[in-house]
A and B are shown apart, each in its own frame.
Chain A
């Protein structure tokens, strides 16, 4: 801290190892950032631009043709959800198609993520106990992960077919792939099958970092198995688990492949926001499609923000950045006590914490 402020007043001696890293870093980072700018940054801006325009569909009274142009409509594409709703019958009642897609997306996300987390943690606990056959279980667990979602969708499509094996097992004639609540459950079952093992894998990695002594100490203190699980295991795997769950949540929110490959388009009970935006886009209604996709984007940002804010998901996970944040906090507190404006730290170069 002292060195950081003195660097401004005195000329610091040049350090050949740490100085000039900024230039090298800029050189190394810039190709990646350029690619990201072109394939992500610019398309987002273009998407923003599209979302406030609408393709002309009215016939020009002078020529009798549909003009090939677009009109600026401001937030018209967004407000059309309320002013000009496209009512569809879904599981949640008859409502606007986007609102229906929104509830489907939310429902899938909540149910899938909760089921995957519980199953995944249970799998991780079992695997952590295993002493023999660990390799076999790990190999098995990678199978659902490696199967492409579309192949999995078609595979479950066959299983859930009206004359398929699922109906033979449950002994009923359920039309899983029709349009209705049962098709939502077909989607949920196949999504949980594919991704619960993945959460299990990530949780297992977190479990294995807990030292055995902690459990021994708890046993000596008389903790039972349930207390050990809630007081030791859960808090200690929480950082790993929260990040895994965050990634799964965001992944489920943009679900597209599974309903598309298994049930197909135009089935309102399983239509997600991604699917609806895709369908609008292919109908060449770029404005509406861009608006819906941006709403999905904002929804995802909001959920990610909640995870970081309230569950403390440390997604970046860089030690140096953590050190800088802590140092800034200390500096702010010190400046507040002294009544001056804080000089915020920009790096840990002078505080000596090396990245590891």
Chain B
């Protein structure tokens, strides 16, 4: 008797449960769903469409110029060949970009890891000041630094008679002014996220704070360090003002400056096809890297930008 009641009760409540669990698919639900899908398609199209136009324009024939056909007809890779025309020196520019970006990234990582650890973990009186200085540097207008450095590197100060224009150091040193704050800031955010208890446990086991950092925190922070490296690399790679100011001869153009100054192989007109092809060539490696590590990069951007 009692068993029957319970089964019956269980049966009824299970049916009710199922009914309750089933989402109500009324007009409002469908409107929301369609709205979300439409919104998402809008975002994707908004982000991709101009980039699609760049790719399409790069894949046209060089003679097509500013054609407004939505598909290249017929598609051709001639523009990509034209990018590497010896007159453009685009290969050298790519090498320059790599040298500058890699060196800056490595330097900022070495300095940044040390500073970020101290800022995230240690207690010292000047912390507020140091953090403020670093954040102030990342908000700084680059042009203010560029002017005296330009006068300095052209040898216009009697105390510094060297001419550093068109050297790698002239491209790398000013880049540190925004690369280093960016790197320290991101790394500090990453180190803060790691539980401090891990270090405490290591210290209880007899590590000094330094050992705890090297043996426990650094291996755990490797993804964060890697992400910071990518973000810094992209920021330096994309820099235009410094590269334009200090690399004035074509052999010292970075890829970004080269794209901005392209004269190209075909015709007297602006060689749009070649420029777009060069743009695609510069962007695609970045995009591949960003898309592979997108989760980490989003985490890094949000950790560094919002805290």
Q: Do A and B bind each other?
A: yes
List chain A positions with a Cβ less than 8 A from chain B: 17-18, 21-22, 24-26, 28-29, 31-33, 35-36, 38-40, 43-44, 46-47, 49-50, 122-123, 126-127, 129-130, 133, 135-156, 158-159, 161, 163-165, 168, 193, 197-198, 200-202, 205-206, 239-240, 243-244, 247, 250, 253-254, 256-257, 260-261, 273-274, 277-278, 281, 286, 289-290, 293-294, 296-297, 300, 304, 314-318, 320-321, 324, 346-349, 354-356
Nearest-CB residue, chain A, relative to B204: A17
Q: Flag whether B134 is at the interface (Cβ < 8 A).
A: yes
Expressed in whole angstroms, the Cα–Cα distance for A38 and B144 within the complex equals: 14
Q: Flag whether B68 is at the interface (Cβ < 8 A).
A: yes
Nearest-CB residue, chain B, relative to A250: B139
The A interface is mostly helix, strand or loop, or mixed, namely: helix
Residues of chain A contacted by B291 (CB below 8 angstroms):
139, 142
Contact of A150 among B39, B137, B139, B259 (CB under 8 A): B259
Residues of chain A contacted by B301 (CB below 8 angstroms):
198, 201-202
Known: A202-B305, A290-B144, A300-B139. 20 other contacts (CB 8 A): A21-B122, A24-B118, A25-B127, A36-B134, A38-B173, A47-B148, A50-B147, A126-B43, A136-B40, A137-B43, A139-B291, A139-B294, A154-B259, A161-B66, A256-B240, A274-B142, A274-B143, A300-B141, A316-B128, A346-B125
Contact of B53 among A35, A155, A239 (CB under 8 A): A155
Q: Flag whether B44 is at the interface (Cβ < 8 A).
A: yes
A296-B47 contact in complex given A155-B53, A158-B272, C-beta closer than 8 Å: no
Expressed in whole angstroms, the Cα–Cα distance for A159 and B42 within the complex equals: 19
- Quick check: A349 and B259 within 8 Å, CB to CB? no
Q: Flag whether B130 is at the interface (Cβ < 8 A).
A: yes
Q: Flag whether B276 is at the interface (Cβ < 8 A).
A: yes
Q: Flag whether B209 is at the interface (Cβ < 8 A).
A: yes
- Quick check: A165 and B143 within 8 Å, CB to CB? no
- Quick check: B306 and A40 within 8 Å, CB to CB? no
Contact pattern, B 136-164, Cβ under 8 Å of A = 1, otherwise 0: 01011111111111111000000000000
Expressed in whole angstroms, the Cα–Cα distance for A354 and B200 within the complex equals: 11
Residues of chain A contacted by B287 (CB below 8 angstroms):
142-143, 146-147
B234, B245, B257, B301 pick with most chain A CB within 10 angstroms: B301
Q: Report the tally of A-B residue pairs with Cβ distances under 8 A.
A: 307
B178-228 residues at the A interface, CB under 8 angstroms: 180-181, 184, 192, 195-196, 203, 209-210
Residues of chain A contacted by B263 (CB below 8 angstroms):
none
Q: Flag whether B111 is at the interface (Cβ < 8 A).
A: yes
Q: Flag whether B46 is at the interface (Cβ < 8 A).
A: yes
Nearest-CB residue, chain B, relative to A299: B141
A123-B43 contact in complex given A142-B294, A250-B139, A254-B141, C-beta closer than 8 Å: yes
B43, B44, B117 pick with most chain A CB within 10 angstroms: B43
Expressed in whole angstroms, the Cα–Cα distance for A154 and B256 within the complex equals: 11
Contact of A127 among B40, B118, B144, B150 (CB under 8 A): B40
Residues of chain B contacted by A257 (CB below 8 angstroms):
240-241
Contact pattern, B 226-243, Cβ under 8 Å of A = 1, otherwise 0: 000000001001101100
A28, A38, A277, A320 pick with most chain B CB within 10 angstroms: A28
A43-B240 contact in complex given A126-B40, A151-B279, A316-B135, C-beta closer than 8 Å: no
- Between-chain CB contacts (< 8 Å), 18 pairs: A28-B122, A31-B111, A36-B177, A46-B148, A126-B39, A135-B294, A146-B234, A148-B237, A148-B259, A168-B68, A244-B305, A256-B241, A260-B240, A261-B240, A290-B144, A300-B140, A318-B131, A320-B123
Expressed in whole angstroms, the Cα–Cα distance for A169 and B274 within the complex equals: 24
Expressed in whole angstroms, the Cα–Cα distance for A49 and B147 within the complex equals: 11
Expressed in whole angstroms, the Cα–Cα distance for A260 and B256 within the complex equals: 13
Residues of chain A contacted by B275 (CB below 8 angstroms):
154, 158
CB distance from B224 to the nearest CB of A (A): 16
- Quick check: B176 and A39 within 8 Å, CB to CB? yes
Contact of B137 among A40, A137, A161, A193 (CB under 8 A): A40
A164-B43 contact in complex given A40-B145, A43-B144, A149-B238, C-beta closer than 8 Å: no
Residues of chain B contacted by A247 (CB below 8 angstroms):
139, 305
Q: Flag whether B87 is at the interface (Cβ < 8 A).
A: no
A165-B53 contact in complex given A39-B174, A46-B148, A46-B152, C-beta closer than 8 Å: yes
Nearest-CB residue, chain A, relative to B199: A17
Residues of chain B contacted by A315 (CB below 8 angstroms):
135
B39-96 residues at the A interface, CB under 8 angstroms: 39-40, 42-44, 46-48, 50-51, 53-54, 57, 66, 68
Q: Which 5 residue pairs of A and B lie closest in terms of their CB atoms, listed nearest first?
A: A317-B307, A46-B148, A126-B39, A205-B302, A32-B115
